[in-house]
Amino acid sequence: MATFKKKTKTKQDIPTSALPDIIFMLLFFFMIATTFRESELLVKNSLPQASELTKLEKKSLVSYIYIGEPTDRKKFGTEARIQVNDVLIDPDQIVQHVITEKDKLGEDGDKITMSLKIDREAKMGIISDVRQQLREANALKVNYAANKKLRLD
């Protein structure tokens, strides 16, 4: 009986004084890993899937172009449009955009990679227009953003 009494007396509290530290550690990890979208999307953007992906290496050398159907149909219509930074542009403005992006990079301007984030429902017509413009602007390294697809075979 005496032994039972002893057991009930033992402290059962888990020390929680280190809990905030652990939580803070996690918090810092997520704070650092978080990247907020730099521009608000004005076009639909669900990426296609592909299996042979390469990772973009130097983020500073990457410039993004979004293509897809505008989310605001009343304002911009239903035709697929091109978005850079925060504005919708026409294909013939891309050369100008690439030149400004290249200027921002200074010496490394020619190493620029264009990341095309294109909605999976877009048609090749507008994409080829963009591609012609990129060739015109001599930004030849292009990355078609895609999500990982698992192959079963």
Q: Is 31 in the site for another protein (CB under 8 A)?
A: yes
Per-residue contact string for residues 43-82; x = within reach of another protein by CB under 8 A:
-----xxxxxxxxx--x--x--------------------
CB of 19 or CB of 87, closer to another protein: 19
Q: Is 90 in the site for another protein (CB under 8 A)?
A: no
Cα 56 from Cα 145, distance rounded (Å) = 10
Burial class (CB in 10 A: 0-12, 13-18, 19+), 93: middle
Cα 87 from Cα 75, distance rounded (Å) = 13
Which bin fits 150, alpha (ψ -120 to 50), beta or left (φ > 0)?
Answer: beta
Distance, C-alpha 113 to centroid of its chain: 14
Span 110-129, contacts to another protein by CB under 8 A: 113, 115-116, 118-125, 127-128
Residues that bind another protein (CB under 8 A): 16-17, 19-20, 23-24, 26-27, 30-31, 33-36, 48-56, 59, 62, 113, 115-116, 118-125, 127-128, 131-132, 134-136, 138, 140-149, 151, 153
